Chain A
Amino acid sequence: MQVPAPFQYARATTVDHAIELLNEGGDSARIVAGGHSLLPMMKLRLANFDTLIDINGLHDELGYVRQEGSEIRIGAMTRHRELLESDLLATAFPIFRDAEHVIADPIVRNRGTLGGSLCQADPSEDLSAVCTTLDASCVIRGRDGERVVSMEDFHRGPYETAVGDAEILVEIRIPVRPGGSSAYFKVERRAGDWAVASSGAAVWMSGGVITDARVGLAAVGPNTTGIPAISEALRGQTPSEELFAQAGALAAQACSPAVDLRGTVAYKRHLADELTRRALRKSVERINGQGA
């Protein structure tokens, strides 16, 4: 059994309470949501904090997936499993269910949260890539109220986000636009492993022509990245294998993978290409009503 160093523990009863506790604790306090990223680091003693503020009691307040106007809003405490099982999400953004099928294992999915995934800001985090692909924005609350930042601004670097010491991520908002679909592809060495590389795509079409498209990659750079060049290249085009190949090549160019036990740089670049093609192809198929 791996045991962490001593720490204080507090259980937040409301979001405001959590923010109060964070203010009291300063930079040595940390929120614990699902704990599936934070606790392993503490048990390995790679990280230690004086105080953990448990926000699992806020699941009622922050665990939801709902449509409001032209947005789908997801509470930060929504668990992987709830994302996986949400029919609303699966219909609007099939990319979520695709991704959740290949994130970790049921035990982790029962506990791990959307907020924790984004705030962990691990370059391999699948949900970060999903949210990047979907052009999500993040609602951050602190003592002074709420602010909304885009995914691009949310991730500041590996394991770094726009969330301040005494702030908490409360919600993710995703714009719903007509004529769109999405898909996610990941290569892992084994079920439950982090991605060697993964690619998400979202495509919007009208009259057989792509009106907009976005691609988000994970595990092939310091953060999950959206690639504007791909969006530009695809807009106004009719989908074709050549077009997907062009997008794949752009993805391979845009990423900056590092070599590790999961794979070589060349292989990861290749995957960025290959998986981007697959995700685009699948998104278009879904728009055209082919394939699940």
Chain B
Amino acid sequence: MTTVETRLTEFADNNEKPVGYGRMLRKEDPRLIRGQGNYVDDLNLPGMLHLAILRSPVAHARIKSIDTTAAAALEGVVAIVTGADLAEKGLAWMPTLSNDVQAVLATDKVRFQGQEVAFAIAKSRYIARDAIELINVDYEILPPVVDVRKALDPDAAVIRDDLKGKTNNHCFDWETGDAAATQAVFDRADVVVSEEIVYPRVHPAPMETCGAVALFDAVEGQLTLWSTTQAPHAHRTVYALVSGLPEHKIRVISPDIGGGFGNKVPIYPGYVCAIVAALVTGKPVKWMEDRSENLSSTGFARDYIMKGEIAATKDGKILAVRTHVLADHGAFNGTAAPVKYPAGFFGVFTGSYDLEAAYCSMTAVYTNKAPGGVAYACSFRITEAVYLIERMVDCLAYDLKMDPAELRLKNFIKPEQFPYTTKTGWVYDSGEYERGMRLAMELAGYDELRKEQEEKRARGELMGIGISFFTEAVGAGPRKDMDILGLGMADGCELRIHPTGKAVLRLSVKSQGQGHETTFAQIVAEEIGIPPSDIQVLEGDTDNTPFGLGTYGSRSTPVSGAAAALVARKVRDKAQIIASGMLEVSVADLEWEKGSFHVKGDPSKSVTIQEIAFKSYGAGDLPEGIEGGLEAQICYNPSNLTYPFGAYICVVDIDPGTAQVKVRRFIAVDDCGTRINEMIIEGQVHGGLTDGVGMALMEMIAFDEDGNCLGASLMDYLIPTALEVPDWETGHTVTPSPHHPIGAKGIGESATVGSPPAIVNAVVDALKPFGIRHADMPLTPSRVWETMQGRHVPSI
């Protein structure tokens, strides 16, 4: 019988080894899976008040008046705050991550259903919620702009009349690639295929909603904000800029986070309201949004209508890709993307293929919907880009009557072409695409699957095989190109070895469940030979960690992971000098073996890293010029992004009678370069694939014609369960990144990016007997059935 104790030793055992990369249980899990995590909502400070936000019931309206009398009179209410109150303090508006502005509380108009209008501060969460029901707002309803295709119509209501001189709903235009060169290639191509592809609005829906606890110490002038943020340092700087509080008097603490997926990158009005409430009342104030608020008001993802065109020779050489995108940015442009990249990294829509030309133009518009455009494995829009190209390649295969695997194999960028500069200017660092593709086909038994499909088709059964091959661009990013609100995207990192040889690593990123405490301990362990269990990883507290831009866009391992390896090497270099003193040989005569230095040719003369650590703090002289202690700090500025890739194959069966899609198999071969912890990588892949099933088959934030959000609960916004997903079959190849210190590329979003096209391609493949070349997500039974009836653009 296994007792709890013996299981604990198993954990411990597993935790000791490996000293470096390899499979090990996550250090954070004993805490998280026993309910001992510490989330924002777990925090209860003495005298703490609660805040609830009144939100707009309508999508577009002018606020004529707000009457707070009844609410203020409710017993237990401390204060009611409106937009007008904030305007007096100059806090009614705040900057977004895309240099737009967003209302903290609406003053003039409400611009989406769910927008923040006022808030109540009360003695309990219940009273605060009761109080906002008593606030009386008189709205003058305005026509809403809901259909993105009509947003630029001359008679469309102007949403952003707060912006000077704004007379339409245009948000921005953007282009990349060479229009003329692309046109020239299209002119001479044998085959041109075009298709309109919609990536609907989806929501990250993290299990933990957003929230904050704000505490203002009036004596010290110190603000402490516990908040659900993936980017604590960036948030602190923005708070300093907005509130006028000096940055050193602001401490942002991001405790355990229950999932982010990009949803917790932006600064939400609720955080600012909590800060204001703490300043106004002098008491700690908690704001925790509920599920409906999270789904209807916080950062969504996607919402791109993409007209795709692909040009090829008749024997299947892809020549060029062109697209025009209509992007719905909601009421405020809250996209989290580096300043020079308003469409994120959508420029990688050229995919994994060696092309002659490519061009994209984009028009982004405002609509009366929640702002965002960041999240769900925010991926900086690579999800959309990969979906576009992988869907278009399948459309081409359909028209050419070619096998989609064969078509891809024919067009891959070849290993010897790396580093490969795409026609839109991205420098792919390394890749061996054919190897990954062939491995996936082998794991899937691709040829047998096609045979099975043929037999089933003959019997009228609907089976589909879908392929996607993706290349991501992650790890933003080089300072020369990338900043968010003027903040460069380099990451600091500090490592200190204590006298007894235990270590603490301080990072600027912030795990939302990805296992940073384990992965980063393993990175350091690999470099200096201290077991991961002896390395404490600290993050999420701006007072105790170095500056950096946070965790999103799969950037933690590519950027902070590099920083962790380099800071460990810096410590090791110092340790080597100290060791040379201890062993009385020159530095050059020492050899490193994980965890100790020994004299070349004489392994018996050695000192361990622990002994060196003790010496560094201990008695006696150190080699000349060497300070005591064993610690280092660096700031890592990546020279390029890293480019993970993967080959995914999905097998679906469709019930011809009910049109229900069953994902029968899913084979995912990923290449994220050097693999640090296989188990964590697999976990990230499993989660992302499940996301993909959600987006492909069921998830969508829909609106009715009045702009009412139809996805504001988890009964309406569906997220897949274990019953909708197959046993994932994973495999991998390893193509290290040449410029990353340990060759790692990042895995956080690969599966979310790569799986939707594989699933949709499989469904469309299953529907081939119906003459179907494309169908839009989410492929609910109703949509699939409508598609089978030949109704190509079914609304639902």
A194 touching B715 in the complex, CB below 8 Å, given contacts A3-B129, A262-B782: yes
Q: Across the interface, do B782 and A190 meet the contact criterion of CB distance under 8 Å? A: no
B292 at the interface (CB under 8 A from A): yes
Given the complex of chains A and B, what is the CA–CA distance between A122 and B41 in angstroms?
A: 34
**In the assembled complex, how far is the CB of residue A76 from the closest CB belonging to chain B, in whole angstroms?**
24
A274 touching B789 in the complex, CB below 8 Å, given contacts A1-B125, A263-B781, A263-B782: no
Q: Across the interface, do B723 and A191 meet the contact criterion of CB distance under 8 Å? A: yes
Q: Across the interface, do A271 and B658 meet the contact criterion of CB distance under 8 Å? A: yes
Query: Which partner residue on chain A sits nearest B656 by CB separation?
Result: A274
Q: Across the interface, do B718 and A266 meet the contact criterion of CB distance under 8 Å? A: no
A189 at the interface (CB under 8 A from B): yes
Given the complex of chains A and B, what is the CA–CA distance between A45 and B710 in angstroms?
A: 17
Which residues of chain B are within 8 angstroms of A196 by Cβ–Cβ distance? 781-782
Given the complex of chains A and B, what is the CA–CA distance between A124 and B130 in angstroms?
A: 31
**In the assembled complex, how far is the CB of residue B120 from the closest CB belonging to chain A, in whole angstroms?**
13
A263 touching B780 in the complex, CB below 8 Å, given contacts A1-B288, A6-B126, A193-B718: yes
Q: Mark A242-284 against chain B: 1 for CB-CB distance below 8 A, else 0.
A: 0000000000000000011111101110110011001000000
B794 at the interface (CB under 8 A from A): yes
Q: Across the interface, do A190 and B786 meet the contact criterion of CB distance under 8 Å? A: no
**In the assembled complex, how far is the CB of residue B158 from the closest CB belonging to chain A, in whole angstroms?**
30
A6 touching B130 in the complex, CB below 8 Å, given contacts A44-B292, A263-B780, A266-B786: yes
Q: Across the interface, do B126 and A189 meet the contact criterion of CB distance under 8 Å? A: no
Which residues of chain A are within 8 angstroms of B657 by Cβ–Cβ distance? 274, 278
Query: Which partner residue on chain A sits nearest B721 by CB separation?
Result: A191
Which residues of chain B are within 8 angstroms of A270 by Cβ–Cβ distance? 785
B702 at the interface (CB under 8 A from A): yes
B660 at the interface (CB under 8 A from A): yes
A290 at the interface (CB under 8 A from B): no
Which residues of chain B are within 8 angstroms of A274 by Cβ–Cβ distance? 657-658
B582 at the interface (CB under 8 A from A): no
Which residues of chain A are within 8 angstroms of B794 by Cβ–Cβ distance? 264
Q: Across the interface, do A5 and B133 meet the contact criterion of CB distance under 8 Å? A: yes
Q: Mark B659-680 against chain A: 1 for CB-CB distance below 8 A, else 0.
A: 1100000000000000000000
Q: Across the interface, do B782 and A45 meet the contact criterion of CB distance under 8 Å? A: no
Which residues of chain B are within 8 angstroms of A105 by Cβ–Cβ distance? 721
Which of the residues B41, B125, B789 comes within 8 Å of A266, measured between beta carbons? B789
Given the complex of chains A and B, what is the CA–CA distance between A263 and B711 in angstroms?
A: 15
Size band of the interface chain A makes with B:
20 to 34
Which residues of chain A are within 8 angstroms of B785 by Cβ–Cβ distance? 263, 267, 270
Q: Across the interface, do A45 and B718 meet the contact criterion of CB distance under 8 Å? A: no
Q: Mark B119-149 against chain A: 1 for CB-CB distance below 8 A, else 0.
A: 0000001100110010000000000000000
Which residues of chain A are within 8 angstroms of B581 by Cβ–Cβ distance? none
> Which residue, A3, A6, A259, has most C-beta atoms of chain B within 10 A?
A3
Given the complex of chains A and B, what is the CA–CA distance between A187 and B700 in angstroms?
A: 19
> Which residue, A260, A267, A275, has most C-beta atoms of chain B within 10 A?
A267
Given the complex of chains A and B, what is the CA–CA distance between A1 and B286 in angstroms?
A: 13
Q: Across the interface, do B291 and A2 meet the contact criterion of CB distance under 8 Å? A: yes
B224 at the interface (CB under 8 A from A): no
B584 at the interface (CB under 8 A from A): no
B724 at the interface (CB under 8 A from A): yes
Which residues of chain B are within 8 angstroms of A260 by Cβ–Cβ distance? 796
A192 at the interface (CB under 8 A from B): yes
Which of the residues B290, B658, B782 comes within 8 Å of A2, measured between beta carbons? B290
Query: Which partner residue on chain A sits nearest B693 by CB separation?
Result: A190
A264 touching B782 in the complex, CB below 8 Å, given contacts A3-B125, A194-B715: yes
Which of the residues A44, A45, A189, A194 comes within 8 Å of B781, measured between beta carbons? A189
**In the assembled complex, how far is the CB of residue B293 from the closest CB belonging to chain A, in whole angstroms?**
9
B9 at the interface (CB under 8 A from A): no
User: Which residues 169-208 of A have a CB within 8 angstroms of B?
Assistant: 187, 189-194, 196
Which residues of chain A are within 8 angstroms of B741 by Cβ–Cβ distance? none
Which residues of chain A are within 8 angstroms of B715 by Cβ–Cβ distance? 40, 193-194
Q: Across the interface, do A190 and B698 meet the contact criterion of CB distance under 8 Å? A: yes
Chain A: interface secondary structure?
loop
Given the complex of chains A and B, what is the CA–CA distance between A191 and B786 in angstroms?
A: 22
Which residues of chain A are within 8 angstroms of B41 by Cβ–Cβ distance? 1
**In the assembled complex, how far is the CB of residue A170 from the closest CB belonging to chain B, in whole angstroms?**
29
Query: Which partner residue on chain A sits nearest B710 by CB separation?
Result: A261
> Which residue, A105, A196, A263, has most C-beta atoms of chain B within 10 A?
A263
B361 at the interface (CB under 8 A from A): no
Q: Across the interface, do A264 and B126 meet the contact criterion of CB distance under 8 Å? A: no
B454 at the interface (CB under 8 A from A): no
Which residues of chain B are within 8 angstroms of A44 by Cβ–Cβ distance? 292, 713
A263 touching B721 in the complex, CB below 8 Å, given contacts A2-B292, A3-B126, A6-B130: no
Which residues of chain B are within 8 angstroms of A266 by Cβ–Cβ distance? 786, 789
Given the complex of chains A and B, what is the CA–CA distance between A154 and B424 in angstroms?
A: 66
B795 at the interface (CB under 8 A from A): yes
Query: Which partner residue on chain B sits nearest A191 by CB separation?
Result: B723
Q: Across the interface, do B660 and A187 meet the contact criterion of CB distance under 8 Å? A: yes
Query: Which partner residue on chain A sits nearest B716 by CB separation?
Result: A261
Which residues of chain A are within 8 angstroms of B292 by Cβ–Cβ distance? 2, 44
Q: Across the interface, do A261 and B290 meet the contact criterion of CB distance under 8 Å? A: no
Which residues of chain A are within 8 angstroms of B658 by Cβ–Cβ distance? 187, 271, 274-275
Given the complex of chains A and B, what is the CA–CA distance between A275 and B659 in angstroms?
A: 12
B726 at the interface (CB under 8 A from A): no
Q: Across the interface, do A189 and B713 meet the contact criterion of CB distance under 8 Å? A: no
Which residues of chain A are within 8 angstroms of B130 by Cβ–Cβ distance? 5-6
**In the assembled complex, how far is the CB of residue A241 from the closest CB belonging to chain B, in whole angstroms?**
13
Which residues of chain B are within 8 angstroms of A268 by Cβ–Cβ distance? 782
**In the assembled complex, how far is the CB of residue A275 from the closest CB belonging to chain B, in whole angstroms?**
8
Q: Mark A1-32 against chain B: 1 for CB-CB distance below 8 A, else 0.
A: 11101100000000000000000000000000
**In the assembled complex, how far is the CB of residue A224 from the closest CB belonging to chain B, in whole angstroms?**
19
Q: Across the interface, do B718 and A189 meet the contact criterion of CB distance under 8 Å? A: yes
B720 at the interface (CB under 8 A from A): yes
Which of the residues A1, A187, A263 comes within 8 Å of B290, measured between beta carbons? A1
A264 touching B291 in the complex, CB below 8 Å, given contacts A189-B698, A190-B718: no
A261 touching B126 in the complex, CB below 8 Å, given contacts A190-B718, A193-B718: no
Q: Mark A88-101 against chain B: 1 for CB-CB distance below 8 A, else 0.
A: 00000000000000
> Which residue, B290, B291, B657, B794, has most C-beta atoms of chain A within 10 A?
B657
Given the complex of chains A and B, what is the CA–CA distance between A203 and B41 in angstroms?
A: 54
Given the complex of chains A and B, what is the CA–CA distance between A6 and B76 in angstroms?
A: 14
Which of the residues B125, B713, B720, B796 comes within 8 Å of A190, measured between beta carbons? B720
> Which residue, B698, B721, B782, has most C-beta atoms of chain A within 10 A?
B782
Question: What are 15 A-B pairs with beta-carbon distances under 8 A?
Answer: A1-B288, A2-B290, A2-B291, A3-B125, A5-B130, A187-B781, A189-B697, A262-B782, A263-B781, A263-B796, A267-B659, A271-B658, A274-B657, A274-B658, A278-B657
Contacts from B to A (Cβ < 8 Å): 41, 125-126, 129-130, 133, 288, 290-292, 657-660, 697-698, 700, 702, 710-711, 713, 715-716, 718, 720-721, 723-724, 780-782, 785-786, 789, 794-796
By Cβ-Cβ distance, the 7 closest A-B pairs, closest first, are A263-B782, A191-B723, A267-B782, A2-B290, A274-B657, A190-B718, A267-B785
18 further contact pairs, Cβ within 8 A, besides A263-B782, A270-B785: A5-B133, A189-B697, A189-B780, A189-B781, A190-B721, A193-B718, A196-B781, A261-B716, A261-B796, A262-B780, A262-B782, A262-B796, A263-B780, A263-B781, A264-B796, A266-B786, A267-B781, A275-B658
